[in-house]
Structure 1
Amino acid sequence: MDKRERAAIFRDRLHQAMLRADITKSGLSRATQVDRSTIGQLLKDDHPRLPNAQLAADVADVLSVSTDWLLGLTNRPETPGDIVAAAMSLSPAERSSADAQLLEWHQEAAGYKVRHVPATLPDILKTERMLRWEYASFAERQTPEAFTAMRDQRALLSEGVYDYEIAIPLHEIEACAAGTSYYRDADRDMRFEQLEFLADHCERMLPRLRIFLFDARKVFSSPVTVFGPNLAVVYVGQCYLAFREVERVKSLTAHFDWLVRSAVVDARDVPGHIRGLMA
């Protein structure tokens, strides 16, 4: 890009940024501590004029834009810090499935496909008895809220508001059936009720709901949910790590697709597999 072209881009973008910031030439000259005529020369279109590095940085700082954008090196006017903040954020993760942030993300995904790798069994398909057992050490009031939230989400799924794909480690289903590991203190009747509930919904809601089982000895995934094309969330314990930058969302979508391709039990075979473990 030659000097005249870059100067024209700088002039246009400087004018845009000043309008957006509602700042005059006099106001910008005071804020950057240069003569008003210097700012005027940068805005004149009769000859190319570019600022020195110091002035370019000061102007960008005052107008809350990036120097790269002013100089035509990027089409994103935000500063690098603002871009990172917009692309990635941390949100507190409540133990309750009725977490308002989680529900808001599901509503945001209306009309899209939700891809989900749960930390245990998928919350959206848990029975009330299972939720009560899991939340026993937390506030009692959370259990009714969580169950109501999950019932509402299942209703949205049944109504076709969004499609749901879930990838679960095979050992999670096996542990629930055998009463080992995470489920070692869970009552057998409660575990089998939960597994039958899961198998029943897999049958009734196919293809809107598809569950795949993968072998965690061959492939691995942290708990993650991809809410359509614009948001992906990784669960890291006490907080959610949310990504909105398109390439990061695409990467996590590709990761989920890899889990599906690596599944040892396909969606149509999951109900029979679950009932076989129960038998």
Structure 2
Amino acid sequence: MLRKRLLAAMEMRSKSQSALARETGVDRSTISQLLTSDGARLPNAHVVGACASALGVSADWLLGLSDRPESAADLLATSFAMTDAQRALIDEQIFEWHQEAAGFKIRHVPASLPDMLKTRAMLQWEYEPHLGRTTEQAIGASEDRLKWMRGARSDYEIAMPLHELDSFARAEGYYAGLCADTRLEQIDRLLNLHEQLFPALRLTFFDARRLFSAPITIFGPRLAVIYLGRNYLAFRDTIRVEAFTRHFDGLVREASLSDRDWPAYLRTLRAEIT
């Protein structure tokens, strides 16, 4: 195994025996012996580690203990990334992730009401303090992306804390100052989208006094992203994506309002406004 993988790594890096010996500080005869012998005796850890470092692979892979040739540093770099999060509707990065996950289920815990379900008036109220006179332009540019996301054949499952819905309907907390007409229009939009898109679009609401979740989006089996405000933390390794998926599924399983129950609850909140 060591011989075959060492040869493969040298060929991949276009590295000769002499070059490998020079970079590792190992005698050329030692490298030659590794490449010509299938004996059971393994070289010492220093030699294996030096070869792995020079060839940009992991020592475990060279020894047949792993199927991943990347070094630990490379694995970490590819499995985790931090990117800027713009104060925008659907920024370039988010849209790229949605495109990448087209056809897969997307699980989402939003920071507020989901942007893709908001009315134009709601978007204007929310983003105008940040975007100023460019708000209308930003909304127009985002509408095509939102339309694409709805038609991308991806199922969307959204879980939110129930108090978010209550605060919105009653114009409390984050939604203080939001006029009644905008709230009524937004509620009608949510109810209409539920009728049109269910079961491809599912919403559930959990009790934040019993459960907590940071804003997170899980793009199928490939990617999980946590929203921090100024940054996204993106995880691509299978173990973490599966862990975040189990976390989300727990929110849905313990939800106070299921995707079949919340429309009636929302209509009750609407009656309070009128």
Give the alignment's Cα RMSD to 1 decimal.
Answer: 1.7
Please identify, of 116-125 and 148-157, the stretch whose mean Cα deviation from structure 2 is larger: 148-157
Structure 1 residues 143 and 93 mapped into 2: Cα distance closer, same or farther (>3 Å)? farther
Whole-Å separation in 1 of the counterparts to 2:148 and 2:191: 17
Query: What's the TM-score once normalised by structure 1's chain length?
Result: 0.91
Q: How does 1:229-268 map to 2 (within 5 A)?
A: 229-268=221-260
- 1:195 — aligned with what? 187
Is 1:222 equivalent to 2:214 in the alignment? Answer: yes
Whole-Å separation in 2 of the counterparts to 1:271 and 1:147: 28
User: Counterpart of 1:173 in structure 2: which amino acid?
Assistant: L
Pick aligned residue for 1:21 from 13, 23, 28: 13
Please identify, of 108-117 and 141-150, the stretch whose mean Cα deviation from structure 2 is larger: 141-150
Please identify, of 98-107 and 182-191, the stretch whose mean Cα deviation from structure 2 is larger: 182-191
Structure 1 residues 62 and 15 mapped into 2: Cα distance closer, same or farther (>3 Å)? same
Structure 1 residues 117 and 84 mapped into 2: Cα distance closer, same or farther (>3 Å)? same
- 1:101 — aligned with what? 93
Whole-Å separation in 2 of the counterparts to 1:76 and 1:45: 24
Q: 1:142: Cα distance to partner?
A: 4.7
Pick aligned residue for 1:121 from 96, 109, 113: 113
Secondary structure of 1:212's aligned partner:
strand
Whole-Å separation in 2 of the counterparts to 1:150 and 1:259: 29
- 2:174 — aligned with what? 182
Structure 1 residues 144 and 277 mapped into 2: Cα distance closer, same or farther (>3 Å)? same
Q: 1:156: Cα distance to partner?
A: 4.0
Query: What's the TM-score once normalised by structure 2's chain length?
Result: 0.93
Q: Which runs of 5+ in 1 are unaligned?
A: 1-8
User: Counterpart of 2:270 in structure 1: which amino acid?
Assistant: M
Please identify, of 129-138 and 96-105, the stretch whose mean Cα deviation from structure 2 is larger: 129-138
User: Counterpart of 1:82 in structure 2: which amino acid?
Assistant: D
Q: 1:268: Cα distance to partner?
A: 1.9
Structure 1 residues 201 and 41 mapped into 2: Cα distance closer, same or farther (>3 Å)? same
- 1:3 — aligned with what? none
Query: Which portions of structure 1, spanning 4 or more consecutive aligned residues, are displaced by more than 4 angstroms?
Result: none
Q: 1:147: Cα distance to partner?
A: 4.9
Whole-Å separation in 2 of the counterparts to 1:146 and 1:227: 24
Contact 1:222 1:235 in 2 (8 A): yes
Q: How many residues of Structure 1 are paired with residues of Structure 2 in the alignment?
A: 270
Q: 1:144: Cα distance to partner?
A: 3.1
Is 1:145 equivalent to 2:138 in the alignment? Answer: yes
User: Counterpart of 1:145 in structure 2: which amino acid?
Assistant: A
Secondary structure of 1:234's aligned partner:
strand
CA shift digits 1:51-91 (9 cap, x unpaired): 22222221111101111221222221111111111111111
Contact 2:161 2:207 in 1 (8 A): yes
Q: 1:37: Cα distance to partner?
A: 1.7
Whole-Å separation in 1 of the counterparts to 2:247 and 2:43: 45
Whole-Å separation in 2 of the counterparts to 1:252 and 1:143: 35
Contact 2:90 2:145 in 1 (8 A): no
Q: 1:45: Cα distance to partner?
A: 2.9
Q: 1:224: Cα distance to partner?
A: 0.6
CA shift digits 1:189-245 (9 cap, x unpaired): 112211221122112211111111111111111101111111111111111111111
User: Counterpart of 1:237 in structure 2: which amino acid?
Assistant: G
Q: 1:35: Cα distance to partner?
A: 2.6
